[in-house]
Structure 1
Amino acid sequence: MTLILLYAAVFVAALVAAEALLRTYFRTSERHKAVNHRLSLLEGSENHRETYREMLKQRGIDQDWRSLPLMQRMKQYYVQSGLKFDGKRCALYGLAGAVCVWLVVQFLVPSNLVRIPVFLLVCLLIPAVVVWRARAKRIHKFAEKLPEALDVANRSLAAGHPLPAAIALVAREMPDPVGSEFGLLTDELTYGVTLDDALMNLTARVGVEDLNLLAIALSVQAGTGGNLVEILQNLSKTLRDRFMLKAKVKSITAEGRITAIFMSSYPFLLYGMIRTLAPTYFDPVWESGYGTYVVTGLLVVMMIGNVILYKMIHFEY
């Protein structure tokens, strides 16, 4: 069994290495690469409407993507992750991942009654975790670059450009994900979508809470008037201060988060180590008939503890 796990690890490592080599081989030079994905698509096509539709298609966005509660909510999470669906690559990774998960589950779980449900649960959790991590990383990157994007728009407005031209400048000058998302915002304004609706679509596509402040500020300014340059300056400073506060909170709670991760993974690591050194050590537990209930109860208690730890180290500010 150990030899099979070794072969599986070598297979996964070779697959990742081949993927990295292919990415390096087909990657264009940094000097000639566009600053964001939208501009790279526009280099090959001058039809802005087709580029706009192609970007929405890659992200899995259609006109009724927020109509149904549950499935559309899951689709919204996928859209906010920024992942682009590739059927062949997903099938390849899914097949390889399913084989590796089955080998690991077969090694760790001796009971056939529990093995299949655990295998199915892990196969469902891995894509969800991948999408969740990609979404969190993209939201963090967007929130970090948003004050800089507002500064770019602010300089354009101070030079006398209208608001759509300032948004278009952000789409050209900022890297992804800010550049492409503001590019989609520019396209929607060009094709007749109102500013309020376009900002709502932007907030729904990205998932950054700070965009609500931008939408409210622009909506109020459009309705009541005022110095838009000063409004964006204050908003940029507020967002930058909030991001710095979030970074401080993250650094202060780093010890708690590492402790939670270690305490959550330690039982599984210990079980795997004992299972490897003494394969028959847990056989009396499974043969007693109560092993499934004991493990289920322990997992429930661990889940409750993780929720409590999560609430302790994540709070509103």
Structure 2
Amino acid sequence: MELMLVYAAVFIGGLIIFERVTGTIANHFRRSSALNYRLKLLQGNEDGLGVFKGMVRERALDYDRGGIKPVVQLRRLFAQSGLKINVLRLAIYAPVAAVLVWLLLSYFGVSAIPKIILIVFFLVALPFVYMMRARAARIRKFTAQLPGTLDVVTRSLSAGHPLPISISLVSRELPDPIGTEFGMLSDELTYGTDLNDAMLNMIERVGAEDLKLLAISMSVQRGTGGNFVEILENLANVVRERAILRAKVRALSSEGRITAIIMSAFPFGLYLMISTLVPTYFDPVWQSGYSNVILSIAFTVMAIGNYILYKLVNFEF
């Protein structure tokens, strides 16, 4: 039975690799014809409103902030990760992940009921971890693009263009993620959304802290007046200085982060080394009848330790 599972996992894994390779090649060729995802959808499609609604649907966006809090937070996490709903890909990846976890637990001699519990937990936790990593990477990329974007808006405003035209210029000239996000902002302004509400929706979609500074600047300038070009220039400098500070902090904490990674991987490496050199070394543990309890306690302690290490080497500022 387990041999058939191995064959099935290898076959489906090959399909996934083939799908990823072909998708990467296709994206490479599509990238030459359009700078960002929104422009790709608009090519040859005159229904701009339909494209905007489709982008909202595929990212499961919901701007109703008064719903059930866990559901609202889950939808916000998915939207900010930039991922798209793909039922076919989910239907392929979930069984492969379940089979791989089953084989791994079988290798450690875990019984059937704990296997099922751990597989269910893994299938629930893995999407959250993947979305959080995708969200963090997307926010970092968005933040890196933001100062240059503010420079583009500043130059456009200095040339006499109104703000909606400047935002539309960003959506046409800059790549993802900021090109698509400003494109959706431009669409909302075009279809009648107030600027403050559109900026709040953009913050909801992106989740970057620096973007809140832009929203506050726009809101204050609309209410009190002032030189908006100068405000944006100062804001661009602030964002750049924050990025420099963030890079310095990451450089100073790099030793702690690599130490945390080594300490997390060390128990698994040690187990594989001992099992390779002395295959029967852990047999008394598996034959004692307490292996499930030992593994559960060990993984729980490791999870707590990894969380503490993560908090020690990651800083909020």
Give the match for residue 271 of structure 1: 271
Distance in 1, Cα, partners of 2:272 & 2:288: 20
Q: Would the alpha carbon gap of residues 268 and 8 (structure 1) be closer, same or farther in structure 2, given more than 3 Å must change?
A: farther
Q: Is the 1:139–1:207 contact (alpha carbons within 8 Å) kept by the matching residues of 2?
A: yes
Sequence identity percentage: 49
Q: Is the 1:109–1:115 contact (alpha carbons within 8 Å) kept by the matching residues of 2?
A: no
Distance in 2, Cα, partners of 1:268 & 1:5: 24
Distance in 2, Cα, partners of 1:256 & 1:28: 36
Q: Would the alpha carbon gap of residues 33 and 93 (structure 1) be closer, same or farther in structure 2, given more than 3 Å must change?
A: same
Give the match for residue 132 of structure 2: 132
Matches within 5 A, 1:74-153: 74-153=74-153
Secondary structure class of the residue paired with 1:29: helix
Q: Would the alpha carbon gap of residues 213 and 186 (structure 1) be closer, same or farther in structure 2, given more than 3 Å must change?
A: same
Give the match for residue 194 of structure 1: 194
Please state if 1:240 is matched with 2:240. yes
Number of residues of Structure 1 aligned to a counterpart in Structure 2: 317
Give the match for residue 281 of structure 1: 281
The CA deviation at 1:316 is 2.8
Structure 1 letter corresponding to 2:61: I
For each residue in 1:3-58, what CA deviation from the matched residue of structure 2 results, as whole angstroms up to 9, or x when unmatched?
88975775465234312442255446367421111111111211211111011111
The CA deviation at 1:293 is 3.6
The RMSD of aligned alpha carbons is 2.6
Give the match for residue 307 of structure 1: 307
Structure 1 letter corresponding to 2:56: L
Distance in 2, Cα, partners of 1:113 & 1:287: 18
Give the match for residue 68 of structure 2: 68
Secondary structure class of the residue paired with 1:49: helix
Secondary structure class of the residue paired with 2:43: helix
| Greater shift in the superposed pair: 40-49 or 282-291 | 282-291
Q: Is the 1:65–1:76 contact (alpha carbons within 8 Å) kept by the matching residues of 2?
A: no
Please state if 1:204 is matched with 2:204. yes
The CA deviation at 1:262 is 1.5
Give the match for residue 19 of structure 1: 19
Q: Would the alpha carbon gap of residues 268 and 180 (structure 1) be closer, same or farther in structure 2, given more than 3 Å must change?
A: same
Q: TM-score, normalised by structure 1?
A: 0.90
Give the match for residue 218 of structure 2: 218
Distance in 2, Cα, partners of 1:31 & 1:182: 18
Distance in 2, Cα, partners of 1:79 & 1:53: 14
The CA deviation at 1:150 is 0.7
Give the match for residue 33 of structure 1: 33
The CA deviation at 1:110 is 3.0
The CA deviation at 1:65 is 6.5
Q: Would the alpha carbon gap of residues 5 and 260 (structure 1) be closer, same or farther in structure 2, given more than 3 Å must change?
A: farther
